[in-house]
């Protein structure tokens, strides 16, 4: 059964979260934005958003590369 327009972005958010297990990824039905929350130590308020699945995946990778040095310092 094909997905309707409401189900498709939620399925994309689930896929992105599976591909990025260090993040919680949701799709906001009112904002029509993908939103990612880190599951690792990060500065308060760290959130990434994007309007499409490709952009949120790219922003997650960028955020991880910026935050990784901080995370490594915290765990030492």
Q: Can you tell me the distance from the alpha carbon of 19 to that of 5, in angstroms, rounded to the nearest whole number?
A: 22
pTM of the model: 0.80
User: Which residues have C-beta within 8 Å of that of residue 3, sequence separation ≥ 6?
Assistant: 11
Domain boundaries defined on the chain: 7-75
How does residue 75 score in pLDDT terms, banded at 50, 70 and 90? Answer: low
Residue range 10-21: mean pLDDT, rounded: 97
pLDDT one-digit tens code per residue, 22-63: 999 999 999 999 999 999 999 999 999 999 999 999 999 999
Stated as kind and residue range, the H or E segment containing 37 is strand 34-38
Residue range 10-32: mean pLDDT, rounded: 97
Q: Can you tell me the distance from the alpha carbon of 49 to that of 25, in angstroms, rounded to the nearest whole number?
A: 9
């Amino acid at each position: 059964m094909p997905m309707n327009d409401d189900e498709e972005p939620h399925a994309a958010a689930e896929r992105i979260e599976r591909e990025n297990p260090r993040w919680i990824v949701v799709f906001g039905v009112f904002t029509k934005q993908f939103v990612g929350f880190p599951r690792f130590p990060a500065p308060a308020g760290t959130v990434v958003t994007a309007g499409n699945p490709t952009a949120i995946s790219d922003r997650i990778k960028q955020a991880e590369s910026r935050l990784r040095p901080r995370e490594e310092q915290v765990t030492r």
